[in-house]
Every structure is written in structure tokens, then in C-alpha cells.
């Protein structure tokens, strides 16, 4: 029993559920429901991006674009075209996934970090469209979002969205963990370690990367839709480049290739600015310094570093095999 509970898979999910359920008891005010709802929402996007970065080894610098698509889909479609909110949400997910497919399919056949550049351009383009199509989107001032109605009830209030986004995050983490521990996940991790070896073992690397890129775009769009529903207003800032960078930083700080690291990274970056308000105008400077500190002292990210520390301390003493220097250096994937 204990063994099952402490596998990262089940144990981690239980911890996450416990945190989501218990945290509200410590909230000093209702305002915190909103902040932590934003943490769970950001986490949904970051878990997807982490699958792409931490497992497939690809960087997207335009994920906020997908976030923006999700957000504006549930705002524009119901407001201007009378589309029911829930259907608008699904349309947003499909559009984001479809766009990811169109951008990713030609790009992911190329070796190297072309995806980062392509998504960078795509993200900027999406933000520009949102800003400029003011008759639909309200331009830079943003727009208000019609409330979601489920079974005749209007879904409103930060506390409601806290529970909805928290529950959704648990499902998203479960999906991500499933994927990691499946043939697809093994293929992705293989691609990350050695593309050449992955190929000769029959893995169509372009295809596997494309799948996870599309999935990550859909997760980001879902997060955007939730954010918009919680409202009260949305602005093009959600889709802009800085937000994309923020998502990438959440992945890196939490830990690449760690599903729960994604949540920790998101929590860190969403709550930190609130804590740093005491520094007033030096807030961003403090944020920058903290990031540098992370890159210097915790390069693997919070969760993997902690994991390593705990394993080192509590693991049963097991004779490590002496590793020859030649073998332990992952050589660049280039056959000579």
C-alpha cells in the first residue's frame, strides 16, 4: 500500500488534491481564492508546456498566443455571435490545436530550435490581431466576458473558479502523468536524450513532437478560457510575448520534465509579485534577481532538485556503479 502511495504518480496527485482542498482554510481573505485560482489556471498551461519542453525538448515562445485564443474565444463568440459559452470554449480549443498543428507540422521536421522562432512570430501575430480587431475584441482596453452558464446556473465568483480550476488541474496532471508513463511518453523522453537513437528505434520524431505540441496548445487554450470566464475582463496582455516568457520561466523554475514542478513553478511566479509588492517599484528587479539565483543554484528547477536531495538522504544505500566518464556524458546526437 505504502509503495503504491509513494510512487510519484499516485502520491503526487494525492498531495496536489490535499493542497487544493486544505489551502482555503489558510486564506486570510477571499481575495486569495482569486490568486490561487490563477495559480491553478496557469498550472494547466504550464503542465502542457512542460510536456513539450521537458519531455520533447522543444521550446515554444508563443504559448500565450494559444492562451489568448482560448480567452478570446469564450469572450468574442458568445458576445458577438451568440455562441453558447461552452461551445465557444470547445471551438477555442480546436482552433488552438489546429493552429499548433499547422505551425508545428512543417517546423518540427527541421532539426534544432526552429519551433521557438516560429512560435515567437506566431504569438506576436496573435497578440497583434487581438489588439487591432477592436470592433470584436475591444482593442488594447480589452473586453468583458459573458459569464459561463451551466445547467441554468451562472458560474461566478473566485471561489467557484478556484474549485473548478483546481479540479481541472488534477485531471490535467493525471493526463500528463499517464502520457509520460506510456509508449508515447517513453518515445518523447527518448527523443529528448538522443534523436538519432530514437529514430533508428522506429520513432517518427517529427510526429511525436507534433502530437505533444498540439496537446500543449490545447491545454494553454483551456487555461486561457478559464481565466477569461473568471474575468471580469480580458486584455491582449494575456496573449503577448511577456506572458509567453512567463510561462517558459514557470516551467524552468518548477523543473523541466516534472509534472508537479509545473504547478510549483506556476505558484511561485503567480504569487511572488503579490509578495513583492512591498518592494514597490523594485518588484521587477527583485524578480529578475530571483530568477538569476535560480539559474545559478537550482538549475534543475525546484521539484527535481528537491527530489534529488530527498533521494540522496533517504534512499537505501546502494552501491553506485562506477561510471566511466565516456559513458556518463550524453554525447551530442551526431554519428561520426
Partner 1 sequence: MTLLNVDGLGIAFGGVRAVDNVSFAVPPGVIFSIIGPNGAGKTTLFNLISGLYRPGMGKVWFDGKPATGLPPHQLANLGLSRTFQNLQIFFRMTALENVMVGRHLREHRSFLSNLLHLPATRRQNAETRDAAHALLERVGLSDYADTIAGNMPYGALKRLEIARALATDPKLLLLDEPAAGCNPVETEEIDALILDVKWQGVTVLLVEHDMKLVMKISDRILVLDHGEVLAEGTAEDVRQNPAVIAAYLGEHGQKEIARADG
Report the phi/psi class of residue 138: left, alpha or beta, with left for phi > 0 and alpha for psi in -120 to 50: left
Rounded to the nearest whole angstrom, what is the least distance from the CB of residue 58 to partner 1 in the complex?
A: 17
Strands 153-155 and 148-150: antiparallel
Least CB distance from residue 63 to partner 1, whole Å? Answer: 19
Alpha carbon separation from 105 to 54, 61, 161, 269 (Å, rounded): 20, 17, 35, 31
How far is it, in rounded angstroms, from Cα 93 to Cα 225?
Answer: 9
What is the helix, strand, coil percentage profile of the chain, to 5? 75, 5, 20
The residues of the shown chain that bind partner 1, judged by CB under 8 A, are 175, 178-179, 181-187, 189-190, 192-194, 196-205, 211, 215, 320-324, 326-328, 330-331, 333, 335-336
Closer by beta carbon to partner 1, 30 or else 178: 178
Shortest gap between Cβ of 289 and partner 1 (angstroms)? 30
Nearer of residues 23 and 175 to partner 1, judged by Cβ? 175
Question: Toward partner 1, which CB reaches closer, 57 or 224?
Answer: 57
Which of 22, 326 has the CB closer to partner 1? 326
Distance CA 327, CA 313 (A): 26
- CB nearer to partner 1: pick between 277 and 324: 324
Single out the residue of 204, 168, 159, 181 nearest to residue 47, CA to CA. 168
Residues 65, 289 contacting (CB under 8 angstroms): no
Residue 152 or 316: the one with the smaller Cβ distance to partner 1 is 316
Least distance from C-beta 186 to partner 1, angstroms?
Answer: 5
Nearest approach, Cβ of residue 181 and partner 1 (Å): 7
Closest CA to 222 of 272, 175, 259: 175
Give least dist CB 183 to partner 1, A.
4
Amino acid at each position: 500500500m505504502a509503495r503504491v502511495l509513494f510512487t510519484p504518480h499516485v502520491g503526487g496527485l494525492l498531495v496536489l488534491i490535499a493542497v487544493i482542498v486544505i489551502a482555503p482554510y489558510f486564506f486570510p481573505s477571499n481575495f486569495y481564492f482569486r490568486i490561487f485560482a490563477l495559480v491553478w489556471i496557469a498550472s494547466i498551461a504550464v503542465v502542457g508546456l512542460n510536456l513539450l519542453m521537458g519531455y520533447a525538448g522543444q521550446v515554444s515562445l508563443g504559448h500565450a498566443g494559444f492562451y489568448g485564443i482560448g480567452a478570446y474565444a469564450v469572450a468574442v463568440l458568445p458576445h458577438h455571435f451568440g455562441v453558447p459559452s461552452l461551445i465557444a470554449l470547445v471551438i477555442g480549443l480546436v482552433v488552438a490545436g489546429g493552429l499548433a498543428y499547422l505551425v508545428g507540422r512543417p517546423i518540427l521536421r527541421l532539426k534544432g530550435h526552429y519551433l521557438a522562432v516560429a512560435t515567437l512570430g506566431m504569438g506576436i501575430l496573435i497578440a497583434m490581431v487581438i489588439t487591432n480587431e477592436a470592433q470584436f475584441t475591444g482593442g488594447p482596453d480589452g473586453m468583458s466576458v459573458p459569464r459561463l452558464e451551466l445547467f441554468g446556473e451562472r458560474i461566478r465568483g473566485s471561489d467557484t473558479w478556484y474549485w473548478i480550476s483546481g479540479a481541472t488541474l488534477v485531471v490535467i496532471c493525471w493526463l500528463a502523468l499517464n502520457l509520460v508513463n506510456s509508449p508515447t511518453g517513453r518515445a518523447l523522453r527518448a527523443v529528448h536524450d538522443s534523436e538519432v537513437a530514437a529514430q533508428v528505434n522506429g520513432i517518427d520524431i517529427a510526429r511525436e513532437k507534433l502530437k505533444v505540441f498540439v496537446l500543449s496548445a490545447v491545454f494553454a487554450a483551456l487555461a486561457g478560457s478559464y481565466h477569461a470566464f473568471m474575468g471580469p475582463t480580458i486584455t491582449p496582455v494575456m496573449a503577448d510575448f511577456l506572458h509567453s516568457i512567463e510561462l517558459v520561466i514557470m516551467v524552468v523554475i518548477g523543473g523541466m520534465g516534472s509534472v508537479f514542478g509545473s504547478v510549483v513553478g506556476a505558484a511561485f511566479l503567480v504569487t511572488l509579485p503579490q509578495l513583492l509588492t512591498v518592494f514597490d517599484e523594485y518588484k521587477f528587479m527583485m524578480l529578475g534577481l530571483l530568477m538569476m539565483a535560480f539559474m545559478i543554484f537550482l538549475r534543475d528547477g525546484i521539484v527535481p532538485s528537491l527530489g534529488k536531495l530527498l533521494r540522496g538522504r533517504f534512499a537505501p544505500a546502494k552501491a553506485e556503479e562506477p561510471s566511466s566518464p565516456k559513458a556518463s556524458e550524453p554525447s551530442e546526437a551526431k554519428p561520426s
